[in-house]
Structure 1
Amino acid sequence: MPRTLPPEILDHIVDNLYDEPIALKACCLVSKSWVERSQRHLFACVELDSIAGSSVESWMNAFPDPSALPARYARSLGVRDPGVAFVNVRAWIRSFRRVEELSVDMLGSVELRGVSLLQFHGLSPTLKSLRFANITTPTPEIIGLICSFPLLEDLSLEIISESDTDGWAAPPTSPKLTGSLRLNGKNRSVVRGLLKLPNGLHFSKIRVLCHVAEVDSRTIMDLVSKCSHTLESIHLKYYTPTSTTLPPLDLSNAVKLKYMRFGWGGADIRWITTTLQTVRPEILQQVTVVLNATPVYIPTEELSWDWHQLDHLLVQLWTAHSVVPRVLYEDTRERFLHLLLPELTRRGFVKGKRQ
């Protein structure tokens, strides 16, 4: 009888503890042969968060030799530390060469303009998901960074300071970008940069959440048009003064569009209706309108007419094409909704978000 279990069985035991960090740390103390397998799970997701006390500097102090870092096991890396803008961390950052997900949040560095992210350039050839938040980096550098990851699919951008792209030349090659795109904040220049990418845009999901003052409706239209043959889901949430009128999006060429979601933060209801009128109803499966803090007190005649038009259109899409309408609300003024959306309310399509 063997005194020890076969290595394959021991590996299987450790693998089943992938979400038990305390047990994995104990495994590291059992035997030297267990360390590597345990570290694969312990360091699969690394968060360098200065607010939580796990800064880039503390990581460097814990692992002074970049060549011996457990970063090679990381598949997901999150950096929420403005210190990367000041400290030369290139050697340590480059050790995360196998990550598939990268998130960089420069919260706390708002006063910094033009913070460089060159230390992340081409970090991992296997990267598929990239998220930037609270970024003040110049747009050409952001686009260049995006193009340094050939397998990139999903992209999330929250830009708080825009820069001019005039005179900027697009890189010779770019990733296919076949996954999801999320835009939040100031996006005019970065969208213009994305539209110039040589391999085009092929996003299947687009989500735009921003104030109308930070939106260039023309570039958003161009963005949707570029992805019209691959787009399956679109989520739009504009915060806009009631005096501002946006031109509707033209989704007539979106040949795969199945899901639409509108977050109403004061946006023109008529804009939602006219945008919906451009879709291909035979393909569409679901339309969701989320009413957050609905600024409706006593509906005027004009406002009631706009809501009734939306009500009629959504019911028509349901009865004629089986497109499922959903209206979700989260405020204290739901008593007006049966007046504004009578047919949808009667059919049970208007519900509170917590129901």
Structure 2
Amino acid sequence: MEPQTLHIALPPELWDPIVDELSSDRSALRAFSLTQRAWVASTRRRLFKAIELRGTERCERFRDILISSSSVGTGVAQWVSDVTLSVVRLRLDVPEDAEASDIPLLEETLSRLPNVDSLQLYDVDVKCGPESQTDGDARLEEGYPDRPLRSLFTLPKLRLLALKSISFGSPFDTMLLISAFPQISSLNFLYLYHPCLDVDPTHWPPQLPENSKREDNRIIITIRELIVAGVASLTEAVRLLAALKEPPFTCALQKLLWSLYSSRDDETALVRTVGEAESTLEDLEIQCNRAESDLLGRLDLSRHSRLKSLCLGLTGRSFKVDTDITTFYLSLPPFLVRTPTSLRVLHLPFGYLSLSPDGTPPWNFMNWPSFDEALTLLHKRNPLLVVYMPFRYTLRQDGHLPEVAQPLALRIPSAEREGLRVRLAVSGYIPEAGRIVYVPEEYHWL
């Protein structure tokens, strides 16, 4: 008897979600791609969507894969959209020297990828000029480096550039690197460090003719999305923001995520940045590290007519929001009254909460009557508004999640009666010796 060939006549809308569920299991995806010819394109798209090139050896190996794929027509390159480069050398002062810099090898590889829209530089060695040039002011006056920058890689669809865990000589050098990607519109600063802070970013060098302006003198690098998280100091964050307002950059922020170990001066920079984006900002997320912060008392969003999504939360373990009403939460209700009628989504995560000995959750971190009044007013002004409230608790060894929906409903009766839509996500974690065990979320609608 001849062996029967397996034929599965299912439409893509049925098996494609199944493949999607396997996205995090690369071994399963590889096996899945060998099961049915019709599944090859779907699995390949997920296998090669995000790649990490760590070191020159992996980069060379992936370059060979791309060359082989091109010769046999399997089309691996077209599926790659997210690239992470790590442990490589970006020598901007000698970009064409293959002995001193990895840029030639990286360009040879990346130029074969036509659809990359996201690039992350993680733990890379960035060098913009000779170490002997230490006078920051002189560098600014002379338009350092000596020759103009050009696009670092051939990535025509690149939109997002993420710089993570990188030490730069100065904020000036950071901007020089970003200038080598004139097609970007989204920037992520994640855990940057500048040991040298003697450069004044208000004197941005004008000698960048290839990247600064087009022939019609229009600025070409417009930043529309900005994430600032874990930058080492206020000075660095302020200087980076100042540099993004000088040619060849301009800011027309539509999305801003700010998460810093903040001080009052740091918050002043945030308030100024948000105010300058009054006519463009659509999505704002603020993660505040200071429970005693009066940031919300200083922030007024009433004139942000395009704002649709807002997220406000406290982060860090240096305080307990389950003991006393913090300044942050005291100022939350009056702040909510100063939000625009355009708002459609409000995220209010409540984290780092400890259960009482009998397992009940704490509720004394908020002035609930004022909060209820503010939510009721928001709903009357914005009937389409949806409020998301994630609650996260430190759990006991049994991992039992507390009842939250009914106690919360009793604390915001007016808002619930008016029909405000509130979506709860209740989760937690169990601290154990040497590790943390997370308990899956439970979801509820009030």
Q: Is the 8 A contact 2:287 2:313 kept in 1?
A: yes
Q: CA deviation at 1:196?
A: 3.0
Corresponding position: 1:166 with 2:166: no
User: What whole-Å deviation, never above 9, does each CA across 1:211-249 have from its counterpart, x for those lacking one?
Assistant: 22497222212222232212111111111143x433532
Letter in 1 for 2:101: N
Q: State the TM-score, normalized to the length of structure 2.
A: 0.57
The equivalent of 1:82 in structure 2 is 87
Q: Give 2:104's aligned residue.
A: 91
Partner SS, residue 187 of structure 2? strand
Question: In terms of mean alpha carbon deviation, does 211-220 or 316-325 score higher?
Answer: 211-220
Amino acid at match of 1:116: K
Task: Tell me the matched-pair count.
Answer: 314
Q: CA RMSD in A?
A: 4.4
2:389 alignment partner, one of 327, 332, 335? 327
Change (3 A) 1:195 1:279: farther
Q: Quote the residue 1:59 is aligned against.
A: 59
In the aligned structure 1, how far is the partner of 2:171 from the partner of 2:151? 14
Gap change, CA 1:60 and 1:260, over 3 Å in 2 = same
Secondary structure at the counterpart of residue 275 of structure 1: helix
Q: CA deviation at 1:63?
A: 4.8
For residues 261 and 229 of structure 2, the distance between their equivalents in structure 1, rounded to whole angstroms, comes to: 9
1:290 to 332, 338, 349: 349
For the structure 1 residues 304 and 272, does the alpha-carbon distance in structure 2 shift closer, same or farther, using more than 3 Å as the test?
A: closer
Letter paired with 1:150: P
Q: Is the 8 A contact 2:88 2:102 kept in 1?
A: no
Which residue is equivalent to 2:413? Answer: 343
**Which residues of 2 match residues 65-214 of structure 1 at below 5 A?**
75-84=80-89, 88-95=101-108, 96-97=110-111, 98=114, 99-106=116-123, 115-116=126-127, 122-123=152-153, 124-137=155-168, 138-162=170-194, 164=197, 165-166=199-200, 168-169=203-204, 172=212, 173-178=219-224, 180-186=225-231, 187-197=237-247, 200-213=250-263
Displacement, 1:191?
A: 1.9
Structure-2 change in CA distance of 1:304 and 1:199 (3 Å)? closer
Q: Sequence identity of aligned pairs in percent?
A: 14
Residue 259 of structure 1 deviates from its aligned partner by: 1.4
Stretch of structure 1 that moved more, 193-202 or 152-161:
193-202
CA contact (8 A) 2:204 2:243 kept: no
SS at match of 1:177: strand
AA matched with 2:200: D
- Please state how far the C-alpha of 1:314 moved relative to its aligned partner: 1.4
Aligned pair partner of 2:268 in 203, 213, 218: 218
Single out whichever of 169-178 and 78-87 deviates more from structure 2: 78-87
Please list, as runs of the form range in 1=range in 2, the aligned pairs for 1:18-29 lying within 5 A after superposition. Answer: none
Cα contact 1:130–1:154 (8 A) shared by 2: yes
Structure number with higher strand proportion: 2
- CA–CA distance in 1 between the matches of 2:104 and 2:245? 33
Classify 1:65/1:257 alpha carbon distance in 2 versus 1 (closer, same or farther; 3 Å): closer
Farther off after superposition, 196-205 or 247-256: 196-205
> 94-103 or 330-339, which moves further after superposition?
330-339
- Residue type at the aligned position of 2:187: L
After alignment, is 71-80 or 161-170 more displaced? Answer: 71-80
Question: In structure 1, what residue type is equivalent to 2:346?
Answer: V
Q: Show structure 1 runs of 5+ residues with no match.
A: 1-15, 27-36
